[in-house]
Structures are given as structure tokens and as C-alpha cells.
């Protein structure tokens, strides 16, 4: 860990697999480098969300209840 901390302080590039998970560039890119809005849109248009909302609406249609959505 001391070697990793010293490398960070000196500004040396740190290879993949850094013990400090926040400084591990590869892991950070894999976890956070995506467009969340695009992923939601893809999920919605492929039927994931739409199918669920329509299914809930069919279940509540006969009971006179209204299905509310946050979308």
C-alpha cells in the first residue's frame, strides 16, 4: 500500500489493479463511464419497462384502479 501511495504522490502512472479502488482507473471506467440516460432509454425501448407498466395496467383495468408511473 505504501508503494501505491508513494506512486500517487509522485504522480507516476499506476498500473491496473491498484490497491486503492478509487485510484484504479480501469475499475472506475468500467463502473462509472457510461451514459445512464442512454441505458434507461435502451431498457425502456426493448420492452423492459413498457411491458411491465402495460402488464400492471391490464391487472388494474378491471378493478377500476389507476396505475401511476414516475416515468
| pLDDT tens by residue, 9-68 | 887 766 667 777 777 778 888 888 889 899 888 888 887 777 777 777 777 655 555 656
Instruction: Report the pLDDT value the prediction gives residue 22, as an integer from 0 to 100.
Output: 77
Is 22 domain-assigned? yes
Is 50 domain-assigned? yes
Domain extent, residue 16, equals: 2-61
**Grid coordinates of 37:** 440516460
Number of domains in the chain: 1
Specify the pTM.
0.39
Is 69 domain-assigned? no
Is 32 domain-assigned? yes
Host H or E run for residue 24: none
Amino acid at each position: 500500500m505504501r508503494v501505491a501511495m508513494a506512486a500517487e504522490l509522485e504522480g507516476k502512472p499506476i498500473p491496473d489493479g491498484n490497491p486503492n479502488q478509487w485510484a484504479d482507473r480501469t475499475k472506475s471506467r468500467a463502473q462509472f463511464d457510461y451514459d445512464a440516460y442512454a441505458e434507461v432509454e435502451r431498457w425502456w425501448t426493448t420492452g423492459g419497462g413498457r411491458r411491465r407498466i402495460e402488464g400492471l395496467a391490464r391487472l388494474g383495468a378491471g378493478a377500476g384502479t389507476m396505475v401511476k408511473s414516475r416515468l
